[in-house]
Structure 1
Amino acid sequence: MTGAPRTVRRVLPAALLVLAAAGCTEPGGAAESVCAYVVTYADRPYLDSADTDFTVGKKLGTATVPECDDTPNDPEGAVPEGRVTAYAVEGTDPAVAIAVGDTPAEAILMKVR
């Protein structure tokens, strides 16, 4: 990204909401476990945050999104391990919070858990 970092005020992208909040139900209606949206960066786990008022800083590197299989009887329900770009959050130590996304404009805030 060129120029000054931009301030991001947005809701979570739909795909991340599906990962973080969508549950599956069994035929009888009982809910199964749901995978939280967690990433690992610099050997620290980060959990998505509801905060939407933050400023994306410089690119830090790559964060890992762990595999999620909250529907073990559905081979199409598994989400493989992935990678996402990690960015600094202006005024915050990366040991406390980072932003992740394909671009700075799409980045969401993640806080160490």
Structure 2
Amino acid sequence: MNRTGRSAGALLSAALLMAAAACTADGDNGGGASASCANLFTYDDHSYLDVQQVDFTVGRKLGVATQPPCNDTGQSDRTDEPTTTTNAYKVAGLSPEVAVAIGDTPKEALLFAAHTGADLPPEVQKFIDGAG
């Protein structure tokens, strides 16, 4: 693996680890906390987080991906945030078990990897390393 691939992999792993926390708070607003949620979608009973963008080929449409409401307020009973839905597409060279492309159209779709903890699935990491 070349230096660029290792650097990209390290940055990607760090980004995935941070996103796995789902929300991050910023306490520098007069005592209150503001947060933003991870870009998390579900498709076919799997959770997917967005990853560093690399060149990939979008395949056929698989179905509908769902983004749950973001509860960045800390109020667990808050239900006024809508669930978002969009399309999930196959990524050429990867199983939908480990990665999908998500977006309204194939041209707008971004790469999402199965959320399996702090590390990317090995197949996705190898795919990214090979793209650099």
The total of aligned residue pairs comes to: 90
CA distance in 2, matches of 1:48, 1:69: 18
Give the match for residue 84 of structure 1.
86
Asked if 1:95 corresponds to 2:97, the answer is yes
Indicate if the aligned counterparts of 1:63 and 1:83 stay in contact, CA closer than 8 A.
yes
Alignment partner, residue 41 of structure 2: 39
TM-score norm. by structure 2 comes to 0.58
2:70 equivalent in structure 1: 68
Identical-pair percentage: 47
Task: Note closer, same or farther for the CA distance 1:84–1:22 as it changes in structure 2 (3 Å cut).
Answer: farther
Give unpaired runs (5+ residues) of structure 1. Answer: 1-19
Asked if the contact 2:98–2:113 (Cα under 8 Å) also holds between the matched residues in 1, the reply is yes
- 1:8-27 alignment, distance < 5 Å: 27=29
Contact 1:24–1:34, Cα closer than 8 Å, also in 2: no
Q: Are 2:24 and 2:35, in contact at CA under 8 Å, matched by a contact in 1?
A: no
8 Å Cα contact 1:65/1:82 also seen in 2: yes
**CA shift at 1:52, angstroms?**
2.6
Question: 1:68-101 CA distances to partner (integer Å, 9 max, x unpaired)?
Answer: 131358xxxx642111100000010000100000
TM-score, normalised with respect to structure 1 = 0.67
- Structure 2 unmatched runs, 5+: 1-21, 116-132
Q: Comparing both structures, which one devotes a greater share of its residues to helix?
A: 2
What RMSD, in angstroms, separates the aligned Cα atoms of the two structures? 2.7
Alpha-carbon spacing, 1:54–1:71, altered in 2? closer, same or farther (3 Å): same
1:111 corresponds to which residue? 113
In 2, Cα distance between equivalents of 1:29 and 1:104: 43
